[in-house]
């Protein structure tokens, strides 16, 4: 499914409590997108990588794509890295 932009709730098949999802993040993009790729997910956000703004934008975009509340996503690893691991609670 590489290159396909995911609609709202389009990744609901990944929503399993306790599941960890690997995400590659590109901050400062022209628009916010979420794509499913073989290695996990690719998320591009318009927010800059400063003061947690990009992480908050990733959480919001990922929650929208998964069709769940933002509060159900916990950042497990990669707070300052492009490769992040999120857990569905």
pTM for this model (two decimals): 0.87
The domain limits of the chain are 12-88
Q: What is the CATH number of domain 12-88?
A: 3.30.1200.10
Task: Extract the residue ranges of the chain whose pLDDT is less than 70.
Answer: 1-7
The CA–CA distances, whole Å, from 3 to 42, 78, 89 equal: 9, 23, 27
Contacts of 70 (CB under 8 A, 6+ apart): 59, 60, 63
- Residues 52 and 36: their CA atoms lie apart, in Å, by 23
pLDDT of residue 8: 73
């Amino acid at each position: 499914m590489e290159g396909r932009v995911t609609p709202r709730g389009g990744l609901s098949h990944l929503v399993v409590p306790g599941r960890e999802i690997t995400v590659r993040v590109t901050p400062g993009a022209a628009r916010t997108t979420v794509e499913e790729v073989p290695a996990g997910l690719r998320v591009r956000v318009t927010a800059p990588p400063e003061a947690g703004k990009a992480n908050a934008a990733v959480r919001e975009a990922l929650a929208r794509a998964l069709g769940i509340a933002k509060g159900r996503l916990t950042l497990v690893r990669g707070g300052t890295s492009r490769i992040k691991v999120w857990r569905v609670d």
